Amino acid sequence: MPRKAKAKAKTSANSKDKILKKHQKYTRLRGMKDVLFDEYKYWDLVLKKASNLANYYGFQRIDTPVMERLELYERSTGKDTDIVSKEMYSFLDKGGDKIALRPEATPGLVRSYIEHGMFNLPQPVKTFWMGPLFRHEKPQSGRLRQHTQFNLDIFGEESPVADAQLIAIAYNFYSELQIPVQVEINSIGCSECRPEYLKKLDEFYKERGKRSKLCPDCKKRFVKNPLRLLDCKEESCVAVREDAPQIVDSLCDDCRDHFIKVLEYLDELEIPYNLNPFLVRGLDYYNRTVFEIVPLLEDEEGNQKRQSALGGGGRYDGLVEFLGGRPTPACGFGLGIERTIMKIKENNIPLVVPEINYIFLAQLGEQAKRKMMALFEEMRRAGYNVRQSFTKDSLKAQLEEANRIKASYSLILGQKELIDGTIILRDMESGTQEVIDYKKIYQEINKRLEDKKNKEENE
């Protein structure tokens, strides 16, 4: 191409690029969600329930950074787990350090417990954590790349009471939100008894024809993390595991006693559970009790349908020491907030929205606007639920807004009222209006709010 034509083509390509960029629409990343206005009602409900329960049971709020060293997750969650080997958002930062966006909260919490010397505090230390987590999973309904969890963890307590109490809190969380759930529970033993069980499992899977039926992932797991063969969801793997030896039959005396106590406490609290010998959880640090909270759902024939877990947790007695702290027993759980909200919507659970008596301040004319802006601040500080739309000049538009927010009363100030030292009080339900003395605003409003309250109580 001649030089001139080449230059012309380049200029035209550049301007096309510019036009494209100008009109480009940015969309959110796959698997990430915006939480918009109406959705927030559900978040408020769920977060309030979570913090309420946490306070009741004596857990204290703690936050940890969104990023940690990649190695923290590799060592604690486990290098061969799906979370670390497949789903981690990790990168080299500008200083050359290997960093990861947290895929789960537990490693960061343990790091924080050790780093701040929390073993010097009266034990147990009970933490309440809530925040976003990042996993590069294949997005689908209920599976996001950024999700939010509510975690409760207990450090420095080995009693099975702690395990049972955590399960009870998780169960109460869902029951009180009117979401029917089932607790799935198992014990995966400890470093004493698990190797013996793994030997039996190894022998079982080595029997003729079994390994060849496993899915490609499980063929790898057989070498690296054989326990995970039990919780694979692939049909062929589920069929093979049916007759696998059960870990509860191989527990040492201490682990068996611990597990029996947990179950007895749950019986006492009348918390229904299902002993699930295939529940092992996909994270390396667990020992003894592991549990998941799954939604209860039946198909048309009344059979239970398998659904993704709403939450899960268990004991991790070795993790604090493994990460360099003093030997400290620990246990906890994480509940998925987005999945919980999905269930509330699916089950059409009504949101209880508290009735608030809003007082709307409307104005007509520049001088009235100024006076009402000052009155708004005064009433807000005095604790009234005042609302306004001072950017609007038209009275009609302002009263439409008052109707939209379902205000109980409006106070309207115009030129005439300004001169007379009065204000209009409008009952938004009946539409009746009265002219009242400006100085008696509080007196008149209080009287009406009181009458309304008495009327509602008598109904």
> Over the range 50-77, which residues count as b (16 or more CB within 10 Å of their CB) and which as e?
beebbeebebeebebeebbebebbbbbb
> Over the range 231-252, which residues count as b (16 or more CB within 10 Å of their CB) and which as e?
bbeeeebeebbeebebbbebbe
- Smallest separation, CB 405 to ligand HAM (Å): 33
Q: Which stretch binds ligand HAM (CB under 6 A): 42-50, 147-155, 239-247, 422-430?
A: 147-155
Nearer to ligand HAM, 84 or 362 (CB): 84
Nearer to ligand HAM, 266 or 330 (CB): 330
Q: Does 339 bind ligand HAM (CB under 6 A)?
A: yes
Distance CA 273, CA 128 (A): 24
Taking CB under 6 A as the criterion, the residue among 64, 76, 127, 149 binding ligand HAM is 149
Taking CB under 6 A as the criterion, the residue among 106, 127, 363, 388 binding ligand HAM is 106
Please give the size of the binding site for ligand HAM, defined by CB under 6 A: 23
Q: Which stretch binds ligand HAM (CB under 6 A): 7-15, 184-192, 310-318, 375-383?
A: 310-318
Taking CB under 6 A as the criterion, the residue among 75, 111, 126, 147 binding ligand HAM is 147
Taking CB under 6 A as the criterion, the residue among 108, 329, 332, 414 binding ligand HAM is 332
Q: Which stretch binds ligand HAM (CB under 6 A): 111-119, 327-335, 397-405, 434-442?
A: 327-335
Distance CA 287, CA 190 (A): 5
Element (H, E) at 404: helix 395-404
Residue 184, φ and ψ in degrees, nearest 5: -100, 135
Residue 156, φ and ψ in degrees, nearest 5: 85, 30
- Whether 252 contacts 188, CB under 8 Å: no
Distance CA 153, CA 147 (A): 19
Taking CB under 6 A as the criterion, the residue among 179, 310, 379, 413 binding ligand HAM is 310
Q: Does 153 bind ligand HAM (CB under 6 A)?
A: yes
Helices 337-346 & 39-56 angle (0-180, nearest 10) = 120
- Smallest separation, CB 118 to ligand HAM (Å): 16
Q: Does 338 bind ligand HAM (CB under 6 A)?
A: yes
Sequence-separated (6 or more) residues with CB below 8 Å from residue 388: 360, 361, 362, 372, 373, 376
- Whether 413 contacts 372, CB under 8 Å: yes
Q: Does 157 bind ligand HAM (CB under 6 A)?
A: no
Taking CB under 6 A as the criterion, the residue among 78, 312, 318, 329 binding ligand HAM is 312
Site for ligand HAM in 216-255 (CB under 6 A): none
Binding residues (CB under 6 A) for ligand HAM: these are: 104-106, 135, 137, 142-144, 147, 149, 151, 153, 309-313, 332-334, 336, 338-339
